[in-house]
Structure 1
C-alpha cells in the first residue's frame, strides 16, 4: 500500500480520537441509562386512545420535580460526555482527512464514521431540549454498534483513495448519503420508541414499563420520526441519484442492480411509503410507524450485511 503522501502521526492521532470517542460515548450511555432507570420525582399519566382505531392519541403528561435530583445530575454529565464524544469523532474524521490530504470518506471505515457522526449531530439538534435527554440512551445503542463494527471489522489504514474512487463525485455522493442515513437512524429509533409507547408494555408495572413511561409522550415521538424522515428523505434520494450519475461515468450505466444500489433503492421506496402512509387516514400512527421501522431495518441491513458479506461493484470500498 502506498503511504508516501500519508502523515503517519496525524493518522495515529485520528485513530486515538476514534477510540476516545467510542470510550466516551460508552460512558455517556451508561450514565444516561442510570438516569433513565433510576430517575425519581416524575409522574406519568398514561391515557389510552379514544375509541378503537382512533387516528389520534392523547399524550401522557410528564411533570418534572423542580428539585434537581442525583439521577438528573448524572444525566447531565452523561449528556456532556455525548458532546465530548461527538467532538472526538469529528476530530477523528478531520485528522484522517488531513493525514491523507483527501476527503475522509474513501472507504467503508470512514463512511461508517461519517454516517455515525451525522446521526449524532442530527440527534443533538432534535434532542436538544432537556425533556428529550432520555432518548439518547436509545440513539447511542445503534450508534455504538455502528462504530464498533467500523473499528473492529471495517478499519482501514490511512492511505490514498483507491483509483476506482478518484472522482469529484466521491465527496458529493458519499457525504449526501451519509447525512441521509444518519438522520434516518434517528427517525427509526423514534418510531420504535413510539410503538413501544403505544404497546401494552408501556403500562406494565415493572422496570421496563416504568422506563418506557419516562420517555416523551407517543405523539412527540411520532412527530420526531416524521419530521426527521421528511428531512432525510430528499437528501438520501439525491444521494442515490448522484451515485447513479457517478456509476454512468465509471461503469457506463446508471443502474446495474448491484446489491448496495438495490437495497438503497428499496429503503428509499419504503420511506416514501411511510411518508404517504403517515398522511393517509387509517394508516397513520402504528401502521405508518411499522413501515418506518422496516425502512430503518433496510438501512441497517445495507450498512452491515451488504458491506460485510456480499460482493458487488461497491466492494472496492469495503474491508481494508
Structure 2
C-alpha cells in the first residue's frame, strides 16, 4: 500500500510539473515578440528551462509507473486509468525524442496540453488496483500495449504539430469560400477539445460534491426464439444529475439539482445495456459543459478561439511544423504496426485461439492503421503536404482517440476491461 501512495503522489507531482513546463514553453515561444533584445536567445533560454521541467515531470511519472507496477504486481496498463496515464507518459517520450531531433520548443506548446488533458482524463476513472482478467496475464500485455501506446503518442505529437500548422496558415482575414470553410472546421476542432476539457471538469465537480442518483432497471433478454424472456433487476448509479433516466427504470434515490426533481426523459429502448442511459447522460453533460465553457471563453476573448491563437504563432515557420507532423507520424506508424497489429494478433492467438475475431477494438485498430497508411501514401506518392497533410494528421488522432475511448466505453467487446465506469 505504501508503494501505491508513493505512486499516487508522484503522479500528482508530474501533473503540476507538466503544467509549469507548459507555461514556460508558452513564454519561450510567444514571449519572443516581447523580448527587446536577442529574441532567439530568449527562446533558447526559456525553452531549455521548459525542457528541464518536462524531463523532471517525466522522471516523476516514471516513479509513478514503476511504484504502481511494484505495488500491483503487474504492469499498470490494464484498465482505462492506467492506460491513459501510460499514454500521457509516452506522449512526453515522443515529444522529448522529437525535441532532440529538431531542437525546438514550439511543440511543447501543444504536446504538453495533450499530456495534461490525458492525465486529467485518466483521473476520471477508478484508480484502485484491480486484478487482471485471465486473458491479460501474459508477457504479451507488456509488449502489445506499450508499443501500441508509444506509436499512438507519436500520432498525438503529429496531431499537435498539424493543429499548430493550421492555426499558423489559415487566412482568418480572408472572405474566400475555401478560407471560410477552413476557419469553421478549425474552430470546430477546438470546440471538440474544449468539450473533452468540459467533461473532465464536470466529472470532478460532481465527484467533489458527492452527487449520486440511483435507479432500478429491469433488463429483459430473449432466451430462445420461442418467445420466452428472461428478466433481471439491475441497479444503475449516476454521479452526474440524470438528464436521461435508464430505459424501463424506477427511481430509488435522487438528489435535486438546480430545481430539477426528475430526469428530463428516458433513454430509448434501442439503447441496450444497463449502463446505456448513464453513458448517454455523460455525453450530454460533456457537450453542455463544453459548450458553456466555449461560450464563456468567446465572451472573454470576443472572437473565435482559433483567430485569437493564430497571432501567437506568427513567428513560427510553417514548414517546420509540417515537417515535424510528418516525421512524428512516420516514426509512430511502424511502432503502432508492431504493437497494435502484429503483436496483438500473436497475443490473440495465444489468449483466444484465433488471430482475428472482428472484436470492435481490433476493427478500429485496423481502421487506424489503414488511415495512417493512406496518410503516408498520400504524403509520399501524391505530394499531399501543408494544409492537406495537417488536416489528415488532426483527423487521424481523432480516430485514435475514438479507438481508445469510444470503443472501451461505448462499444461492448473483449477489450472493454475493468475501470471504465
Distance in 2 of aligned mates of 1:106 and 1:173:
12
Specify the alignment match of 2:338 in structure 1: 238
The alignment partner of 2:361 has SS state of helix
Please list every run of 5 or more consecutive structure 1 residues that lacks an aligned counterpart in the other structure: 1-7, 44-63
Number of positions where the alignment pairs a residue of Structure 1 with one of Structure 2: 288
2:351 is the alignment partner of 1:250: yes
TM score, norm. by length of structure 2: 0.62
| Residue of structure 2 aligned with 1:179, choices 144, 150, 157 | 150
| Residue of structure 2 aligned with 1:303, choices 384, 404, 409 | 404
Specify the alignment match of 2:16 in structure 1: 23
Task: Check conservation: 1:307, 1:318, Cα contact below 8 A.
Answer: no
Q: CA deviation at 1:102?
A: 2.4
Specify the alignment match of 2:377 in structure 1: 276
Task: Check conservation: 1:107, 1:156, Cα contact below 8 A.
Answer: no
2:323 is the alignment partner of 1:223: yes
Task: Check conservation: 2:87, 2:153, Cα contact below 8 A.
Answer: yes
Task: Check conservation: 1:193, 1:221, Cα contact below 8 A.
Answer: yes
Q: CA deviation at 1:199?
A: 1.7
Distance in 1 of aligned mates of 2:346 and 2:30:
49
Distance in 2 of aligned mates of 1:163 and 1:11:
23
Task: Check conservation: 1:37, 1:211, Cα contact below 8 A.
Answer: yes
Q: CA deviation at 1:318?
A: 4.1
Please list every run of 5 or more consecutive structure 2 residues that lacks an aligned counterpart in the other structure: 175-306
Task: Check conservation: 2:130, 2:418, Cα contact below 8 A.
Answer: no
Q: Over residues 72-96 of structure 1, what are the superposed CA-to-partner deviations in whole Å (9 max), with x where a residue is unaligned?
A: 7555443332122111111110111
- Counting only pairs closer than 5 Å after superposition, residues 282-301 of structure 1 correspond to structure 2 as 282-301=383-402
**RMSD of aligned alpha carbons:** 2.7
Distance in 2 of aligned mates of 1:73 and 1:213:
20
The alignment partner of 2:75 has SS state of coil
Structure number having the greater strand percentage: 2
The alignment partner of 1:311 has SS state of coil
Specify the alignment match of 2:31 in structure 1: 38
Distance in 2 of aligned mates of 1:279 and 1:67:
33
The alignment partner of 1:197 has SS state of helix
2:75 is the alignment partner of 1:103: yes
Task: Check conservation: 2:158, 2:324, Cα contact below 8 A.
Answer: yes
Change beyond 3 A, Cα 1:99–1:257 = same
Q: CA deviation at 1:315?
A: 1.0
Change beyond 3 A, Cα 1:137–1:271 = same
| Residue of structure 2 aligned with 1:9, choices 2, 17, 41 | 2
Change beyond 3 A, Cα 1:67–1:108 = closer
2:212 is the alignment partner of 1:112: no
Q: CA deviation at 1:207?
A: 5.4
Distance in 2 of aligned mates of 1:112 and 1:138:
18
2:286 is the alignment partner of 1:313: no
Larger radius of gyration: 2
Distance in 1 of aligned mates of 2:27 and 2:381:
39
4+ long deviations beyond 4 Å: 66-69, 71-76
Distance in 1 of aligned mates of 2:331 and 2:161:
14
Task: Check conservation: 1:273, 1:291, Cα contact below 8 A.
Answer: no
Change beyond 3 A, Cα 1:66–1:221 = closer
Range 117-126 or range 162-171, more displaced: 162-171
The alignment partner of 1:272 has SS state of helix
The alignment partner of 1:200 has SS state of coil
Q: Over residues 91-111 of structure 1, what are the superposed CA-to-partner deviations in whole Å (9 max), with x where a residue is unaligned?
A: 110111111232232222222
TM score, norm. by length of structure 1: 0.80
Distance in 2 of aligned mates of 1:174 and 1:108:
12
2:205 is the alignment partner of 1:212: no
Specify the alignment match of 2:236 in structure 1: none
Q: CA deviation at 1:68?
A: 4.7
Task: Check conservation: 2:17, 2:56, Cα contact below 8 A.
Answer: yes
Distance in 1 of aligned mates of 2:373 and 2:407:
22
